Structure 1
């Protein structure tokens, strides 16, 4: 009887149930690839078995079949490969030796030197175990016992997700978990280690009596997350966080975290997330018993500010939701609320340090060349030293619409914009505004190479203002007023670029005079017209707004009158070098004396403005801009940025200067008493830092200092290391901003990231 027929007969007699067989290969021939494993299909001892082998024999007396030479066996959702396999028909035990590999139902592979399996490969023992999982995770053990195909119990186990050292593969992994015992729960995707040590570079560092983690194949799974322990905090003292993650289903989850502190009461918080086909929801909230009591303080304006009701039961909520209504419309909401700024400070709530919290609900629409948004906003002040909640507005509602048309028959493009709102303050001006801005642009060229832009524009607004004698308007009347303004504008702009080559054809120079004339009715002195001002609190005349039709930040105030703007633009580029320069001035027929001082437009001929960018190579870039007042013989505005270095070491620095701090101009009744003393403090700040990255190491340091106030604003730095399986970051931040009469002082963060395990953090 030939080998092939004998192989079929032997297999048919030793396997229980129905067998599906592949012919045994003749001795010395190469095995072909076999059937694919059916992942996820239930397996039992009665399932058919398919095998391929180079050689086989059968001991009829003892009922033992032997296959050797590149043996491959498939049964249900398991596959087995080895140099030699024996099957005992009497006991139902299959023993494999030499280069044993088992393909698991989840696609992972288990390697071993010796394996005994039974019950459809669901039960067995093995020695010299090596499991290769996702994300380069590896688990090795001296021995293993498998039960029911679901539980793998291992002895003297080692786990890591690090790649072997290329120069010395025998060297210890960068980190590894070395445990006396390990249990892998295949059904619930968990691995639990007992009496485990965390080794780093082969040195035991941390001991865990027990340690449980998700299988690397798991992306989301319910269970306790890493406990956080911080030894010291100014307001919390020594504190610990205990988070629990609940994977509700495939689209939503909930994380609940308890915080226990040595210096104040406990806190419990929760984070809920839901990712749907038509939108998403994310919300976090917390409640705590804050025992800290903060005394009153004097703010920047010399006022006494109390801190009542900022202890005891405190809480916060922060969340967002966004839903797609159809392909053109979506709606959403963002909520940010806290019972007090001191509570946010005490419990390290994200957002502390901001001037205010903003909550809004909105409806957005997108069309071809069009955008619409209807929203409402609420603001909660955090820094009571400069902001009072009663002075912050409720915006109920605000409508924004913008339309950009296609080129028409005359070659021009029409656009329309409107921002309308109803604004309420408990203490301050309350007003309503309706606005329409229409614009028509017609570009054209001539044979001289000149580039012309003709602009026709109409701005129109209608206002109704209440309590105009309060901030930020400070008009000398308690009456309510309805007023409006219409400003038609016509502008013609000319760009005339000249181009030449130099540096033997390797460089180009662009010499470009720019001129613009703008004609509009003189908008006059708005201080006598009782127009509220919500969006034009600062006038910006720099190189960036030199040719703007309106140089106010918004549209409550408009630039009117007859004026002309002139500029000269030069650019040199050669062999990776570049110099770009722009200088210009403005000439105006009428001077509006109600502009904020130091605007640069106090005379018919404006203060000159300019900008220079110098980049001699790819390793350095310098930009400086400013505005010079020839009557005071001083700069009224200056700004500079420099960036230089190579990847291994890079430096950046910046400087900004204004003779006043514009934020405070409208804070008090400037019409009657003039600006507050805080406004007269120059804004002179320098910032800078450096960063370095070499191989797996990185380092950065940054700082910001107010030269006018002779104090730092912030200092910080970050140092760390990262490789394929581990990351360490140490971040330190010192904030000098005073909120509620207190500073947060220094924060130090230690973050250790172990691939496939998680991130451990220590805060102080």
Structure 2
């Protein structure tokens, strides 16, 4: 039969009537021209040839189909597509209709538009695709980018569609064309799989304290919402350091467990830490939180580079919020690494209730705060405190624009103190009244606006109870800044309160030139009718007059921000300053601050402090970026710590090299120089950057 004269596209469907063939999917050929030779029983197809064989589609220009052997031969270039997202280009191929297998030569394959394979031979049998003499990479390989950042050269590569795995045999890992690692066998998830158990890329470190070595993490998936990472660190100075991280996601919460420890020997006990952090939303506005760190000894976290803090807050809290009220219940415990002899108390319970009520007719605002706190120590001492803080306030505005706020407050605290074989009770009452005056002056023009606000607060508070003071367990540290200047009660805790008549004064000036720049300046000071000793010596708030506070901010088009806080003594000599500079550009970012503290023996500071902190990040090229960190003591002219980092990142690899040096030594943080090298390969099933598919796609 000759079909050359037929102009339209013809379709010939060949159906085999054996039981096996009836159960199989249809096999069909489409082409512009088809011819059949009865003597040889061979079909020939030319022009836009397509073959549909199960879930495989083949495209070419010419083919022959031997009906006797049920083999299809392709003499021209062929494109193979599968329903699993595999695209293959080959120079020639052969399809066996009986075994439903495909054999192609000199192929280039693309799996899920992410992982590219070049192979001398490819064979598709059932759910497996076997590549021989294969090179695989998720990196872009194009005319303009012929050399991938990394690739795997394998004697054999098997793609198992049933198990969703890629199996590599006798494989070399090459990075930038250099063979780095050989492995007889490697298994990875197939493209499109974002989570799978297996060995992660190792990282390398070199440190004065820890020696030179490697960190090898292993990742385990635990269902769809949990995973576990187990890491082993081996260096020239560490026999073995074991790290682990467990993560769990809930419908309305999460839990993370981080740990690291040194296995114990016959002489030493286990050294390490365990950190538990989690949160859960029980209802729409109800939350449960936990954050606790268990530490074996004071130097472990700093020495091994996990955390440089010297004090940790451990808590379990329950919080419930509504439109005008909140409830918080907590258990608190501080872990101090500064002094092992310090016994930190356990706070159990810590109950706090807050409610705000607005009376519409009168315009009064009532703020209610209640708390119940229990403090216990190891030597069976402690106390319980119940406090009630009631504040009633009202705002007025005169016809001339003067803003007035009146506040009445009474703070009551009842104590039950438990000493060894002794108990005592104490009641403290701290009433307070305040008047605040603001007179904003506003000037608006087409492109600029100015606001000038003088503020004065007249406050009186006292202690109407006995002269006996309670145990002072609350925080008494007050940072003198623009936020605390106009606080009616400047001491954050309850156990100690400011007393007497005082006047909080300040001036605020704001200038905004639209789309160009804006700046603000504030000046403030506190005056009293008697000498105050309610604050720490170094706070600058004691005496008849406080120190003078001057703050300023300026920003230009959101690219440059400068902020400064300066505190001057009564005779206008600088006592301390804190200035920060932030520059944000597309290619680089700069964050720097300068802290200056002038010594004053009367306030407990015996030496000057002048410290510079600098952080610089820059995009050097499309793929290269760098960063510099510096903390320097300008008084002693020495670096406290310094770091330099270099990063290369493209669509398939992320290389991070960092060098750091800590020059100062404490009991918790000894001197150390450290080098870290982390190489993260874009997973077979994922890619770095915004591009989710290869830029060199086989369509």
Counterpart of 2:362 (choices 410, 433, 436) is 410
Per-residue CA distance 1:431-487 (angstroms, 9 max, x = gap): 32222323344334333233333333332222334569xxxxxxxxx9754323333
In structure 2, what is the Cα distance between the partners aligned to 1:325 and 1:500? Answer: 49
The Cα RMSD (Å) is 3.8
1:486 aligns with 2:417: no
Bigger strand share = 2
Matches within 5 A, 1:580-599: 580-599=520-539
3-state SS in 2 of match to 1:743? coil
Correspondence for 1:127: 105
Counterpart of 1:372 (choices 308, 327, 346) is 327
Q: Structure 1 545/360 Cα, relative in aligned 2: closer, same or farther at 3 Å?
A: closer
Checking the alignment, whether the CA contact within 8 Å between 2:546 and 2:570 is kept in structure 1 is no
In structure 1, what is the Cα distance between the partners aligned to 2:560 and 2:99? Answer: 65
3-state SS in 2 of match to 1:637? strand
Correspondence for 1:23: none
In structure 2, what is the Cα distance between the partners aligned to 1:86 and 1:263? Answer: 68
1:163 aligns with 2:155: no
Correspondence for 1:447: 399
1:111 aligns with 2:89: yes
User: More displaced, 140-149 or 447-456?
Assistant: 447-456
Tell me how far 1:581 sits from its aligned partner.
1.0
Q: Structure 1 739/628 Cα, relative in aligned 2: closer, same or farther at 3 Å?
A: closer
Checking the alignment, whether the CA contact within 8 Å between 2:57 and 2:80 is kept in structure 1 is yes
Correspondence for 1:522: 462
Per-residue CA distance 1:583-620 (angstroms, 9 max, x = gap): 12222223332432243344433332111223456543
Tell me how far 1:732 sits from its aligned partner.
2.1
3-state SS in 2 of match to 1:187? coil
Per-residue CA distance 1:615-652 (angstroms, 9 max, x = gap): 45654332222221124x53333211123474445443
TM-score, normalisation: structure 1: 0.79
Matches within 5 A, 1:270-281: 270-281=244-255
Aligned length, in residue pairs: 680
Counterpart of 1:11 (choices 10, 13, 19) is 13
Correspondence for 1:337: 294
In structure 2, what is the Cα distance between the partners aligned to 1:435 and 1:625? Answer: 35
Q: Which ranges of structure 2 fall in alignment gaps of 5 or more residues?
A: 687-699
In structure 1, what is the Cα distance between the partners aligned to 2:508 and 2:117? Answer: 65
Tell me how far 1:242 sits from its aligned partner.
3.9
3-state SS in 2 of match to 1:325? strand
Tell me how far 1:723 sits from its aligned partner.
2.6
Q: Structure 1 607/18 Cα, relative in aligned 2: closer, same or farther at 3 Å?
A: same
Tell me how far 1:126 sits from its aligned partner.
1.0
Correspondence for 1:630: 570
Correspondence for 2:131: 154
Checking the alignment, whether the CA contact within 8 Å between 1:264 and 1:290 is kept in structure 2 is no
Q: Structure 1 49/368 Cα, relative in aligned 2: closer, same or farther at 3 Å?
A: farther
1:652 aligns with 2:652: no
1:355 aligns with 2:310: yes
3-state SS in 1 of match to 2:489? coil
Correspondence for 1:695: 621
Checking the alignment, whether the CA contact within 8 Å between 1:194 and 1:208 is kept in structure 2 is no
In structure 2, what is the Cα distance between the partners aligned to 1:680 and 1:738? Answer: 20
Checking the alignment, whether the CA contact within 8 Å between 1:101 and 1:110 is kept in structure 2 is yes
Tell me how far 1:127 sits from its aligned partner.
1.8
Counterpart of 1:720 (choices 637, 641, 647) is 647
Tell me how far 1:573 sits from its aligned partner.
2.5
In structure 2, what is the Cα distance between the partners aligned to 1:523 and 1:122? Answer: 94
1:497 aligns with 2:440: yes
Checking the alignment, whether the CA contact within 8 Å between 1:121 and 1:149 is kept in structure 2 is no
3-state SS in 2 of match to 1:544? helix
Per-residue CA distance 1:225-274 (angstroms, 9 max, x = gap): 334454x4444434344433332322333333334444343344443333
In structure 2, what is the Cα distance between the partners aligned to 1:538 and 1:489? Answer: 21
Q: Structure 1 67/590 Cα, relative in aligned 2: closer, same or farther at 3 Å?
A: farther
Q: Structure 1 174/458 Cα, relative in aligned 2: closer, same or farther at 3 Å?
A: same
Q: Which has the higher contact order (CA 8 A, sep 6+)?
A: 2
Checking the alignment, whether the CA contact within 8 Å between 1:541 and 1:551 is kept in structure 2 is no
Correspondence for 1:225: 200
Correspondence for 1:686: 612
In structure 2, what is the Cα distance between the partners aligned to 1:285 and 1:616? Answer: 45
Q: Structure 1 715/467 Cα, relative in aligned 2: closer, same or farther at 3 Å?
A: farther
Checking the alignment, whether the CA contact within 8 Å between 1:75 and 1:120 is kept in structure 2 is no
In structure 2, what is the Cα distance between the partners aligned to 1:661 and 1:80? Answer: 85
User: More displaced, 232-241 or 620-629?
Assistant: 232-241
In structure 2, what is the Cα distance between the partners aligned to 1:446 and 1:134? Answer: 71
Correspondence for 1:189: 164
Per-residue CA distance 1:496-538 (angstroms, 9 max, x = gap): 2223356xx43322222222222x3324999x52222233321
Correspondence for 1:32: none
3-state SS in 1 of match to 2:479? coil
Q: Which ranges of structure 1 fall in alignment gaps of 5 or more residues?
A: 20-43, 293-308, 469-477, 663-673, 760-764
Matches within 5 A, 1:411-426: 411-426=363-378
Checking the alignment, whether the CA contact within 8 Å between 2:127 and 2:160 is kept in structure 1 is no
Q: Structure 1 373/91 Cα, relative in aligned 2: closer, same or farther at 3 Å?
A: farther
Per-residue CA distance 1:151-199 (angstroms, 9 max, x = gap): x22233222223346xx52632343334444333333333344454444
In structure 1, what is the Cα distance between the partners aligned to 2:653 and 2:519? Answer: 44
Checking the alignment, whether the CA contact within 8 Å between 1:46 and 1:120 is kept in structure 2 is no
Counterpart of 1:577 (choices 502, 517, 529) is 517
